[in-house]
Structure 1
Amino acid sequence: MNNVFREKTQWERKEYFNQQTSFSITRDIDISLFREDIKRQGYNFYPALIYIITRSV
């Protein structure tokens, strides 16, 4: 397979490429109960946080 690189101005579907396809939201949340619970259970904070985030998305 040959890769062909062209300028974006020449792309047939450039209007679809330039659309914004993501967004982000920032919010302060209280995680004190979460921290207490994982500490009581003996888990490390960062891996537990990553697990909870990935399960909620």
Structure 2
Amino acid sequence: MKILIVYYSTYGHVHRMAEAVAEGIKQIDGAEPVLRRVPETLPEDVLEKMGTVDA
């Protein structure tokens, strides 16, 4: 059984949490985690002002 983990992460914190959830799912017999990251939708200039370009 595949379990979909959909997440959005700007700075990487939520990405690490999604990976931890996936590791937990791997402990269940017959379960397979599938990670899908929601693409960034903010314009580049807004991301620069937020200081997230390097993140």
Fold-level match, TM-score > 0.5? no
- State the structure with bigger RCO (CA 8 A, min sep 6), 1 or 2: 2
Find the structure with the greater CA-based Rg: 1
- The two structures have a TM-score, normalised by structure 1, of 0.27
